[in-house]
Amino acid sequence: MFSGEPRNREELVEELRSAQLNGLLSKDTLTMVEGALKVTELSVDDVMVPRAQIVMISADSPLSDILAAVVESGHSRFPVHGEDKDEILGILLAKDLLKYFGDGEHFDIRAILRPAVLIPESMRLNVLLAEFRLTRNHMALVVDEYGGVAGLITIEDVLEQIVGEIDDEHDDEEEPALMHAQPGGHWLVSALTPIADFNEQTGSTYSDEEFDTIGGMVTSEFGHLPEVGEEIAIGDYLFHVTEADDRRVQQFRVSPKPTQD
């Protein structure tokens, strides 16, 4: 029993935490209850995978390229686009490619696409979770106010807000390092490096209010998807693209910006 009727959500959470301290709730149960309350406050754009990090497949790609992208990423679902990445034709399930092993001559990606679910950035996570359960979909494309693709979200992304990080068979037991110090004060930096981690390692003060990762921040500064060899100065550092493909930037060489005499 509560010591008094909670008057708001904050007081309810405090009562639940007291119950956990008194042994009435396990720590895991408390975490899930707090997570369930949190999803009613979060919207899709708070947890979605940003556009720059989505593994998309062009409908005009040959089967060999598609298979390579599927194997490299380890994902099971892929948005397929037409002439540009805002023209989403559908969702490709990796398992639907099995029938084409040894019979690539008759491959037609459009014939095996599943319908794509498009949702607005502002949709609440609890509403999306209910929609996922009702429609039995596992993935949705997030569109901005102009109808362009802004990101991607899966049912796993939503559930992780409730139960915490969910590891699957493709997750490594130990995460590889995203930043590697090099001689001369340089760094090799994965595009997936959180801005907060980059700031901690380098002593920089880049804002993470608009973007979560270094890749998102730098791509935005370029104003286009940069290619290998392109370079841009942001604040006190130069970001040189060392690895990229036609879908996203993968790695930068980061150097202190030369001071002017």
Q: What is the pLDDT of residues 139-163, one digit of tens each?
A: 999 999 888 999 999 988 888 888 7
The superfamily CATH assigns to domain 45-163 is CBS-domain (3.10.580.10)
What predicted TM-score, i.e. pTM, was given to this entire model? 0.56
- Give me the torsion for CA of 56, 61, 67, 70, rounded to 10°: 0
Residue 4 has pLDDT above 50, yes or no: yes
**Cβ pair 226, 241 in contact under 8 A:** yes
**Cβ pair 210, 229 in contact under 8 A:** no
* Fold annotation for 179-256: 3.30.465
Least confident of 10-24, 109-123, 152-166: 10-24
For residue 83, the one-letter residue type is E
Give the sign of the dihedral formed by CA 239, CA 245, CA 246, CA 251: negative
Closest CA to 66 of 29, 35, 94, 28: 94
Ranges of each domain in the chain: 9-41, 45-163, 179-256
Q: What is the pLDDT of residue 167?
A: 54
Q: What is the pLDDT of residue 16?
A: 78
Q: What is the pLDDT of residues 29-71, one digit of tens each?
A: 777 787 788 788 888 988 898 988 899 999 999 888 898 888 8
Partners of 240 in the β-ladder:
231, 253
For residue 247, the one-letter residue type is R
